[in-house]
Amino acid sequence: MEGIAGGAQRCFPNLNFSCRRLRRPLPETATLYTAMALVSLVTVTLNLMVVISISHFRQLHTPTNILLLSLAVSDLVVGALAMPIEGLRYVETCWLLGRLMCAVTPYVSYCLLSASVGNMVLISVDRYLAICDPLLYGTKVTLNRVKILICLCWACSLVYNGCILIGHLEQPGRFSSCHGECVVVISHVSGMLDLFVTFIGPSTVMVVLYLRVFGVAVSQMRVIRRQIAATAASAPPPRKSERKAAVTLGIVVTVFLMCFCPYYFPTIVGIDTSNSLSYFAVLSWIMLLNSCMNPLIYAMFYSWFRKAIKLIITLRILQPHSRESNIM
């Protein structure tokens, strides 16, 4: 404790009961700020590319892509807001943004992450219907219905996280012991509820639906292979498509589990979840990284996204009638 106190100063030197501030070496501070700024910039840039692509090109105004757009918007705001604020808190070891931001920031961050998870679940349902029920997909899944579901997803996220964080929103400083802290505590009971609502439930739905999608896709490829083999001397092997489907499935499920599972470690071991825990910053940043990975998983696998990026970077989207470009 003496070593910590000797290398610390006050968060607010002019205020009584100000928290102690751990002073990091300048090279460490510069490295941390650079790394976090790069992650935030990459997250914002990738998701912004998705937003511009889907919003600009009329050909991309499909139900599936509208879901991708909603996902990209939530992840973009995570990169632009949640990541810089969490980075500032971690590097400075003090809360410097005031009482109002202490109340609002955790709520906004949790809403964005919950909406992101909800959008991923809707995307998995969309793909399930598209592959497992293709004949009725066009009548079941329309733009208006998808927009309504997206609005419901965001509304549920706002209400749900308001209930989880109601105590913090009413009294943001109730767990703070000095000026310069913004302590958010989620009780073990609320944490267990959140574990099932935000992690176990969505992950189960995604795993089951994607496994079903993969099974149907493989069955369809086998039927196509038999038909080709019956009409041709040598049939081109569809193994590459099957492998690609398996790899995509594995990446989607694995990345989601890896990013969100560590955050629930305190709940799993039976303690309250609090950002005052010594290892909370690591858990939080692992979960935030999911917003950086989503555009890579859900968009980079599409050829239209690569074409759209080229048109955006070369500023060809500024040309007349570029909205009508054929990029599918």
Residue 230 pLDDT: 67
Token representation of residue 99: 């009482």
Query: What's the CA gap between 102 and 105, in Å, rounded?
Result: 6
Q: What is the pLDDT of residue 229?
A: 66
Please tell me the distance from the alpha carbon of residue 226 to that of residue 146, in angstroms, as a whole number: 36
Domain count, the chain: 1
How far apart, in whole angstroms, are the C-alpha atoms of residue 228 and residue 250?
28
Mean pLDDT (the chain) is 84
Flag whether 150 is in a domain. Answer: yes
Among 3, 43, 41, which residue's Cα sits nearest to residue 23? 3
53 CB-near residues (< 8 Å, 6+ apart): 60, 299, 304, 305, 308, 309, 312
CA separation for the pair 75, 112 (Å, rounded):
7
- Give the pLDDT confidence of 8-36 residue by residue, as tens digits: 588 888 877 888 888 888 888 899 999 99
**105: in domain:** yes
What pTM, to 2 d.p., does this model score?
Answer: 0.86
Using one digit for the tens of pLDDT, what is the confidence trace for 208-252?
888 887 777 777 667 766 776 666 544 444 445 445 555 666 787
Looking at residue 2, what is its pLDDT?
39
Query: Which among 176, 296, 280, 200 is positioned nearest to 247, based on CA atoms?
Result: 296
Assess whether pLDDT exceeds 50 at residue 261.
yes
Looking at per-residue confidence, does 230 or 178 come out higher?
178
- Mind giving me the DSSP string for 71-89? HHHHHHHIIIIIHHHHHHH
Segment 149-178 mean pLDDT: 91
Tell me the CATH number at 49.
1.20.1070.10
**Is 169:258 a contact under the CB 8 Å cutoff?**
no
Residue 10 in any domain: the answer is: no
Residue 174 has pLDDT above 50, yes or no: yes
β strands within 141-245, DSSP E:
185-186
Residue 109 within any structural domain of the chain: yes
Compute the radius of gyration of the chain from its Cα atoms: 23
Unique residue bearing structure tokens 């010594």: 278
Asked if residues 109 and 81 have their Cβ atoms less than 8 Å apart, the reply is yes
- Higher-confidence residue of 221 and 198: namely 198
Neighbours of 50 (CB within 10 A): 27
Q: Is residue 164, in this structure, part of any structural domain at all?
A: yes
**Could you tell me if residue 267 is inside a domain?**
no
Residue 204 lies in a domain: no
The values of phi and psi at residue 38, to 5°, are -65, -45
Strand partners of residue 22: 8
pLDDT of residue 247: 62
How many CA atoms lie within 13 Å of 278's alpha carbon, on the beta-carbon side?
0
| Position with higher pLDDT, 239 vs 277 | 277
Q: Tell me: the pLDDT tens digits for 302-317? A: 778 888 888 888 888 8
Assess if residue 165 is contained within a domain.
yes
Identify the three-state secondary structure at position 273. Answer: strand
Residues contacting 157, CB < 8 A, separation 6+: 111, 114, 115, 118
Give yes or no for residue 87 having a pLDDT over 70.
Answer: yes
CB 52 within 8 A of CB 295: no
Domain of residue 93, residue span: 24-186+272-324
- Report the SS3 class of residue 9: strand
